[in-house]
Structure 1
């Protein structure tokens, strides 16, 4: 029996299309966004967090249990909004607020009141409105009205808890909309970030921003003086901005032994006026290469470089040193950052920016930094910590590839000059605290902590894996490839106090703008604590809302990654936060991440370990949540097994799933999204406590399997078209259906068959996939009966539909794979960009469930699907040629114009020639008609692709294939499902274009 709690708005609906648009736009917003305060991985967009929290805190006014007091407040607030603030949101809000402005009595209809509140939420999700006074005041008034109407004490705020706080998006937005936010994390760095966001900025506001700018200027002034000898200006007054280096090896060719700089490309910069790069002047006598600057009209005028696929070719003798030997030589030099060769210097002068060749003064200045760092290594901080970060850098297979070239201490990530600048900055941050503390020790901690975050920004632009971005002529940062530390053979070194990208001025300004922006939101302080999600420091039944984005198996190794920053924070402000910085590196035990296969030292971090601790965390969330409260879990994993585990943990922890909403938050083109367990959207799974009337956990309610199976297809039928209207398709829609489907199943502690056998979650989810597949097919074929098609057509349509996530077009089978051990990561990325799309891949288990839901078996469809390990691949049409046209005429037919047809790049050009040798098809020849509608459509596509116009006419007209309406209905569906830009899309559209001309 359902408790008499009103549904929240998020349980009823959510304007996901408009929220997703704001979340996508937010990816390009930088100034003032908390993502620019400090790097944290897998951060949630503020737009999505803000909208979800509002919808989860505010009751649905159309719900019969909604308190009248809240309805009255909501009517007044929405009425005032329509009257006074319509001009702020009229462009987006549509007709609702316009109609309400004309007739406020419309708000007496609770359904219209609900729509008005959703319009407000969608508008508030806009970054431009996030600090608007009217939006803030209205949202906070609604939050307070909801809190008090639902039994909260006056002058208190509803508590929102995030036990995996990370970068702070969720707790920040909880404060913004008027809730009380408690953020916790096991990792010290997110705790520190949340302290700044939730505690320091709300408490000190603009005063903190002003002092950070003031002391940032002081640090720059002092550091410039201390480091002047390492970064000298040129004799003509020009100022170096960046130094461009290449690690080196010794050529192993017979009798050579020359120094070989490891360079990806000799191009330095692309400009409207042309390109500039390096020209090689080779001395065979002295076995040396001199690099001089050269201008050219086009970038491709410059050679590729010495590197290709991790191997290095000597520019003097032409000998190629294999990749393994390249890595071995680099490892002998502990990465070789300090023995790298300086190739060019990028400078700024009153006349503009330019490149110059290195000189003797550059070499001497760099050499001086060696002595400085060696002296620093002999010094210790008060607690006995070395001033230089000598902590071990672990190896994580395919993530920390930098370890493969001998970088096994964090200090080795940096050149000696980079170390010198960072050591000076950390020392000066300590000096800032010493200067301020006599006036206000707590405020001094806030200022020094925020300045330390700026030092971390500087470190991100000051490692030996920062690259020179040729297209924009700026320095890329350490984590430009996301959550990894790849091998970068050539790198760029920033001059911290110059005017280029990655400078100290930039670090201070980026941080200060975040302080300004959050200050403009006029927040009440929240709380940030260090705690495990399995043992949260909150009382039972205390949180009205738990919203969290938990880790996803092995997606991000947070603790190991964050050590890059931890070792510097420990040296700058570790003494100010002794409970956070009590160890040399971040705590690895208890971290809920799967890493066993990436490093033997983490053998205990197995999949089972992850699942056990995640279940414990969800149980603790259940303990913390109030009986009337909600849990919102953000999940973006494509493995069905991962979803099953998460859902099982939710159900066994006493939660009922009541809704799920996909919000477009992910960048489909990012490297980690390719061929990885990542959705285009993050699914927000909404749950309620499963309770007895007295408020205790309901542990013994039994559901009838027949009733559940009867209700399931009805619920999916209601839900799927609704998602399609919001633009949610493919895998996003499949996982978005889990919420409403699971509400049926999870409302019981167990579901039994008539025999008394308990139904497993796995068994139920098989039924969910079948129901989703059936409903999806009705959408694909626009309501037509898909049963007229054979199983291969139904599977192909559903497969392609599943890959349609957001703006993406599915995952190519040979998209980016994790770079092989030691391989140059840039080479791996470059090959992935050039790879030809051949077929479309899904996780095997997902593909199996799709097929099973359609009454098909993958193993029986060998001519359509290829199974390798845990991946199933839908073959491209080109790959089906042999199966479709028989043994002798097994390949796509050729014509007298066959040589010209090669420009089509069909993917089987050599097979065209083979067909010619067999005699091919004459213009009068017609292939054997395929057994199924899909086979016949694919045959027609190949005839079109091969330019066999007459054969295609005979196939469609004389053989009668084109008189089958199912043929054209399937062709129409496939033309909408095949990704744009693929051969398949072009071919099927070409076949469709012939229909009218053939009189069909």
Structure 2
């Protein structure tokens, strides 16, 4: 679009381009990881989903105008700085409320956010009312729509919809497309639909009140979710009629009790089996035992729970092996099973002969790997009951023959898919015969349930249409299709557990799913879960998880399509926020085939175009996986070229009044020692700039709670960074390196003050996050120009720009650049050289004179110990507890800062607030010093020292709030909230 003066688009700076209450967002994102009930992650697994809290906050901040903007841009405040600060704090408070999990569907909180978005939009529309395309682009009565072109797990488009935007999502991966349909497209179509399914008999016989009687209405997706429950129950009952005999109960006999007196309470009872525990076997490599199948068991421990310990005892008699179960603490040698070392290295339990990985792979490839039942886990009155294997049960499982199995091959990606070398080459090979029969039965029942839904809809008078959901239907047939989608999702949830790659955990006495990590590893022993029990993997348990994950979205529509991000046209004039795949972190398509084979069998009649291929499309997937591109270099080139095209597509098509937000996923290997200057990071920034964007913000988002203030190296940094991007002006000019440095000096202080709360009253960004966040305003300067030219005329690289930006951050935080007192300047230099250690008096005397003070004066201030020709700084724990800043005649900022740390650590935020209230004029210098000292400690790898400064900043908002409550609001300088 041309950008002449008369066609100029006025785009106020958005909040996300200026400042965010980042700690509040990150704390909520970290807390969200432990939440399952009501979280979309229970609907269907997807890898590396963004936290809902982060997505919600980012989109809101991307939509609302910063109160301190100027119409012509620039990082300055509006005319009334004080008013801007008050308004900005109101927006921050909306974000703080928005990100709380308990407010996810709180209409009062959401309506405040929607109102703020609408107000900003109408203001933007007013500014552009004379634009030639105002009717098309700036309709004040209708918010622009939203699009995520790499929708993945659907968190981002879901939160856009929750904030009141018509939401569009697209992805190349059919599994991701289905997840997004289930999250944002299907629920609004049937909002308010009352359930039509028959109430399960179990509800009636147990005297439960029908769910309908417990609700005033079926608003939102409540009726949809209830029908998923009802038809899921019907499927379970039908499946049990057909294959229930494959999962027999186990009877506790007198013979068993004679061996195990602990079983006496169950005498004569038939217990429901939770799981059968198997070990893979190969023929012994020892010629004397080559006819014997020997187990490859990683452990013989069944339960490690206190007072409930149990283990498998292998009994060898000549060339025969039996397993029995014992209660109590297992002998040490049984804890590692038959494993000899890491990887595929075992020992023949009969002969002691080593079994090497090469031999196991050969046996697996030749089809000679089998399995042997080691134990049975049953449901007891007060927990698990562990029983020895029953021969009839083993025979039943081994003699079961499936009618169908997935023949799709696992990709040759040795980094994430580890089973092919052992002969498990197709997805069907990952399941036992009994599991294949079970999953196929449920897959067939999905379509039978769909037809039943349609008949029940007709019987209830809901119409007689035949238009399916894939063709835009919203009647009986489409509703049957919709219910089938969620029933198929429950099947996928079960498959994640009903698989020989799942494993038994003795610590929790339960099954761990296949995708407890972003890979399909090789397993040696595994639980075969009973799908008709009440344990993980059982179909009713999977249905319950799906129901919990169905979003309670209202009637705002959502549209989901399969599309390539590099060529899609959906983004036209839409707000864009997206989380693209990063390099080779995750091979989404290769992993998604695990679920695709079952979704295709269940849903192909409903979505024939989406499931037209035998496997998930892989050739166009933007990940740098070497096996697809001959080598690592070609894979990287493919990724960069494709990502540049995709990002360029966004820059060309996105709504011109809004920035685009792009999540960048950091890898552990890139974030050593807190560095933000890494090859991957720089390359990604280069690709974004090359695609036509300028970068206005970089906000670190973290999802880990433990030790978040600072960790050991890699764990200290954020798990992802949100890039805030604007389309670069067509007529952008080039500038010199010197001009770039001058702009950094002029503009970075304002930007940093906005981030750390210096002048704006913003909840400060924690020091551990500042280096990444501050890249944003620095890159905004660098990337708005066509080029920054070095003295020799060459273009400055992103790498060199980052060095200069980081230097500007250091200069800003350096006490020498501020108005710090001489004593503090001495302490800072001394700390930099000696930390808390001792140094020579002569050196201290020279340094003190250079700083305009004396060793005696600094000692009298109470911050150093000097004597015997030695000098050392006092640690915060050594400072006096009865210190009174009002009566102290010599109080360097160094002393005030460390007294604040002492009180915070010993007495908490409230007491620290009381102390700050006694010296409000020192608040801002204390905070700036804490930032500086954190940066210094991080650089020197002093983790424990850094933690103290970071915790002070992390608690600053609460400390200032506590100080204001004391009654000193008017005395606070630069800290108003």
The answer (yes or no) to whether the contact 1:663–1:681 under 8 Å persists in 2 is: yes
Alpha-carbon displacement from aligned partner over 1:16-70 (angstroms, at most 9, x marks no partner) = 1111111111000101100111111110000011111111111123334499xxx
SS at match of 1:312: strand
Aligned residue runs from structure 1 range 2-21, under 5 A:
4-21=10-27
Cα separation, 2, equivalents of 1:365 and 1:121: 57
Structure 1 residue 234: deviation in Å? 2.1
Residue 322 in structure 1 maps to residue 356 in structure 2: yes
Residue 610 in structure 1 maps to residue 639 in structure 2: yes
Which residue of structure 1 aligns with residue 774 of structure 2?
737
Aligned mate of 2:391, from 360, 363, 366: 360
SS at match of 2:646: helix
The answer (yes or no) to whether the contact 2:27–2:705 under 8 Å persists in 1 is: no
Q: 1:149 to 1:789 in 2, by over 3 A?
A: closer
Which residue of structure 2 aligns with residue 555 of structure 1?
585
Which residue of structure 1 aligns with residue 703 of structure 2?
665
Structure 1 residue 669: deviation in Å? 10
- Structure number with higher relative contact order (C-alpha < 8 Å, ≥ 6 residues apart): 2
Cα separation, 2, equivalents of 1:340 and 1:779: 71
Q: 1:704 to 1:978 in 2, by over 3 A?
A: closer
Which residue of structure 1 aligns with residue 961 of structure 2?
none
Cα separation, 2, equivalents of 1:983 and 1:117: 36
SS at match of 1:576: coil
Which residue of structure 2 aligns with residue 210 of structure 1?
226
Aligned mate of 2:563, from 531, 537, 560: 531
The answer (yes or no) to whether the contact 2:666–2:719 under 8 Å persists in 1 is: no
Q: 1:206 to 1:119 in 2, by over 3 A?
A: same
Which residue of structure 2 aligns with residue 271 of structure 1?
305
Alpha-carbon displacement from aligned partner over 1:348-370 (angstroms, at most 9, x marks no partner) = 1456530111112212320342x
Which residue of structure 2 aligns with residue 423 of structure 1?
440
Structure 1 residue 661: deviation in Å? 1.5
Cα separation, 1, equivalents of 2:577 and 2:934: 40
Residue 702 in structure 1 maps to residue 741 in structure 2: no
The answer (yes or no) to whether the contact 2:435–2:499 under 8 Å persists in 1 is: yes
Cα separation, 1, equivalents of 2:174 and 2:381: 44
Alpha-carbon displacement from aligned partner over 1:385-405 (angstroms, at most 9, x marks no partner) = xxx211111121221112221
Alpha-carbon displacement from aligned partner over 1:684-732 (angstroms, at most 9, x marks no partner) = 11112223xxxxxx14422243221023245555555765676756774
Which residue of structure 2 aligns with residue 231 of structure 1?
247
Alpha-carbon displacement from aligned partner over 1:311-334 (angstroms, at most 9, x marks no partner) = 111223222222322333233337
Which residue of structure 2 aligns with residue 163 of structure 1?
149
Q: 1:276 to 1:766 in 2, by over 3 A?
A: same
The answer (yes or no) to whether the contact 1:176–1:523 under 8 Å persists in 2 is: no
Which residue of structure 1 aligns with residue 543 of structure 2?
508
Residue 241 in structure 1 maps to residue 274 in structure 2: yes
SS at match of 1:219: helix
The answer (yes or no) to whether the contact 2:225–2:547 under 8 Å persists in 1 is: yes
Which residue of structure 2 aligns with residue 764 of structure 1?
801
Q: Give the TM-score taking structure 1 as reference length.
A: 0.70
Cα separation, 1, equivalents of 2:692 and 2:425: 45
Cα separation, 1, equivalents of 2:300 and 2:663: 44
Structure 1 residue 787: deviation in Å? 13
Cα separation, 1, equivalents of 2:62 and 2:766: 24
Which residue of structure 2 aligns with residue 842 of structure 1?
none
The answer (yes or no) to whether the contact 1:411–1:419 under 8 Å persists in 2 is: yes
Give the alignment's Cα RMSD to 1 decimal.
Answer: 4.0
Cα separation, 2, equivalents of 1:780 and 1:559: 52
SS at match of 1:395: coil
SS at match of 2:48: coil
The answer (yes or no) to whether the contact 1:465–1:486 under 8 Å persists in 2 is: yes
Cα separation, 1, equivalents of 2:701 and 2:38: 23
The answer (yes or no) to whether the contact 1:267–1:299 under 8 Å persists in 2 is: no
Cα separation, 1, equivalents of 2:279 and 2:34: 31
SS at match of 2:115: helix
Structure 1 residue 287: deviation in Å? 1.8
Structure 1 residue 604: deviation in Å? 9.1
Which residue of structure 2 aligns with residue 633 of structure 1?
662
Structure 1 residue 163: deviation in Å? 0.6
Q: 1:732 to 1:154 in 2, by over 3 A?
A: closer
Q: 1:299 to 1:209 in 2, by over 3 A?
A: farther
Cα separation, 1, equivalents of 2:936 and 2:327: 47
The answer (yes or no) to whether the contact 1:168–1:197 under 8 Å persists in 2 is: yes
SS at match of 1:183: strand
Which residue of structure 1 aligns with residue 673 of structure 2?
none
Aligned mate of 1:683, from 721, 724, 732: 721
Q: 1:539 to 1:230 in 2, by over 3 A?
A: closer
Structure 1 residue 203: deviation in Å? 1.7
Structure 1 residue 451: deviation in Å? 0.9
The answer (yes or no) to whether the contact 1:637–1:678 under 8 Å persists in 2 is: no
My pick for the range that moved more, 274-283 or 777-786, is: 777-786
Residue 479 in structure 1 maps to residue 495 in structure 2: no
The answer (yes or no) to whether the contact 1:668–1:674 under 8 Å persists in 2 is: no
Q: 1:117 to 1:961 in 2, by over 3 A?
A: same
Residue 125 in structure 1 maps to residue 163 in structure 2: no
Cα separation, 2, equivalents of 1:287 and 1:164: 57
Aligned mate of 1:116, from 90, 94, 108: 90
Aligned mate of 1:653, from 685, 688, 691: 691
The answer (yes or no) to whether the contact 2:305–2:506 under 8 Å persists in 1 is: no
Cα separation, 2, equivalents of 1:602 and 1:669: 38
Which residue of structure 2 aligns with residue 389 of structure 1?
406
Aligned mate of 1:42, from 48, 53, 68: 48
Structure 1 residue 595: deviation in Å? 0.4
Aligned pairs, how many?
A: 761
Structure 1 residue 166: deviation in Å? 0.5
Cα separation, 2, equivalents of 1:391 and 1:10: 45
Alpha-carbon displacement from aligned partner over 1:430-489 (angstroms, at most 9, x marks no partner) = 212233345421111111111111110011111111111111111110101x21011111
Which residue of structure 2 aligns with residue 886 of structure 1?
none
Cα separation, 2, equivalents of 1:160 and 1:536: 14
Which residue of structure 1 aligns with residue 501 of structure 2?
465
Give 5+ residue unaligned stretches, structure 2: 74-79, 126-137, 191-220, 252-268, 459-475, 671-677, 758-762, 845-865, 879-893, 899-931, 949-977
Aligned mate of 2:182, from 180, 188, 196: 196
Cα separation, 1, equivalents of 2:743 and 2:832: 28
The answer (yes or no) to whether the contact 1:276–1:299 under 8 Å persists in 2 is: no
Which residue of structure 1 aligns with residue 283 of structure 2?
250
Cα separation, 2, equivalents of 1:556 and 1:347: 37
Structure 1 residue 603: deviation in Å? 7.5
Which residue of structure 1 aligns with residue 205 of structure 2?
none
The answer (yes or no) to whether the contact 2:10–2:72 under 8 Å persists in 1 is: no
Cα separation, 1, equivalents of 2:934 and 2:85: 39
Aligned mate of 1:746, from 783, 800, 811: 783
Aligned residue runs from structure 1 range 529-928, under 5 A:
529-538=561-570, 540=572, 542-543=573-574, 545-596=575-626, 598=627, 606-638=635-667, 639=670, 640-666=678-704, 679-691=717-729, 698-713=730-745, 715-717=747-749, 732-753=769-790, 756-772=793-809
Cα separation, 2, equivalents of 1:193 and 1:612: 28
Q: 1:366 to 1:754 in 2, by over 3 A?
A: closer
Q: 1:964 to 1:677 in 2, by over 3 A?
A: closer
Alpha-carbon displacement from aligned partner over 1:897-951 (angstroms, at most 9, x marks no partner) = xxxxxxxxxxxxxxxxxxxxxxxxxxxxx9x99xx99xxxxxxxxxxxxxxxxxx
Cα separation, 2, equivalents of 1:636 and 1:155: 36
Alpha-carbon displacement from aligned partner over 1:580-633 (angstroms, at most 9, x marks no partner) = 11110011111100001x466788961011000110011100111122121011
Q: Give the TM-score taking structure 2 as reference length.
A: 0.71
SS at match of 2:657: strand
Aligned mate of 1:144, from 118, 129, 133: 118
Q: 1:771 to 1:224 in 2, by over 3 A?
A: same
SS at match of 2:312: strand
Cα separation, 2, equivalents of 1:786 and 1:289: 75
